[in-house]
Amino acid sequence: MWVYEKKLQYPVKVSTCNPQLAKFLVEQYGGADGELAAALRYLNQRYTIPDKVVGLLNDIGTEEFAHLEMIAAMVYKLTKDATPEQLKQAGLGDHYVNHGEALFYSNAAEVPFTATYIQAKGDPIADLYEDIAAEEKARATYQWIIDMSDDVDLNDSLRFLREREIVHSQRFREAVEILKEERDRKKVF
């Protein structure tokens, strides 16, 4: 069960219209290492993970949807006042022709989201290592977007998201250790 509050997990502010920055952010919306892929990956993997850590996947998967909502708000705010010409100059002309001002799940290169981004092996430790890698890739991508941005207001929200990726990676590392300890414990019948 979810309880939804009609507010973002962390405030999203932008200083100015910037379609080019929005194009970069779309990577975290519908890219392989973005928030949608992470949310779906974790909420899918929870069905084959031991009970000791299933809550972790549920909690982080749900939080990833909150991050997806923040990215959507950022992209919207960065493009809402853009003219079609500005969108075209930012490399979003094809997107505008196909979707108008609507968001669409794709990466920064406009490759549509695909289920192949969602990894699930069914081996809890292998899946958790995949999750750690996904969080670290997302952290790196947020840092690179921050490096490309001169919007101090937006960068505050991006730093929040980057830090949450670090926390998630740490929590998944803890879960791996819990499962390794459980696996290696002698079992007496």
Q: Is residue 179 part of a domain?
A: no
User: Residue 131's domain is classified under what CATH number?
Assistant: 1.20.1260.10
What is the pTM for the complete model shown? 0.93
Q: Which segments are annotated as binding site?
A: 35, 59, 64, 67, 135, 168
Q: Is residue 121 part of a domain?
A: yes
DSSP H helix total and E strand total for the chain: 7, 0
Are 171 and 56 in contact by the 8 Å Cβ rule? The answer is yes
Q: Is residue 164 part of a domain?
A: no
Q: Is residue 3 part of a domain?
A: no
Q: What integer pLDDT is reported at residue 6 of this predicted model?
A: 86
Are 119 and 44 in contact by the 8 Å Cβ rule? The answer is no
Domain enclosing residue 66, as ranges? 19-155
Q: Is residue 14 part of a domain?
A: no
Q: What integer pLDDT is reported at residue 58 of this predicted model?
A: 95
Number of domains in the chain: 1
Distance CA 78, CA 59 (A): 29
Q: Is residue 90 part of a domain?
A: yes
Q: Which segments are annotated as binding site for Ca(2+)?
A: 59
Q: Which segments are annotated as binding site for Mn(2+)?
A: 35, 64, 67, 135, 168
Q: What integer pLDDT is reported at residue 182 of this predicted model?
A: 86
Each residue's pLDDT tens digit in the chain (189 positions)?
A: 567 788 999 999 999 999 999 999 999 999 999 999 999 999 999 999 999 999 999 999 999 999 999 999 999 999 999 999 999 999 999 999 999 989 999 999 999 999 999 988 999 999 999 999 999 999 999 999 999 999 999 999 999 999 999 999 999 999 999 999 988 886 666
Q: Is residue 76 part of a domain?
A: yes
**8-state DSSP, 123:** -
Q: Is residue 92 part of a domain?
A: yes
Distance CA 33, CA 41 (A): 10
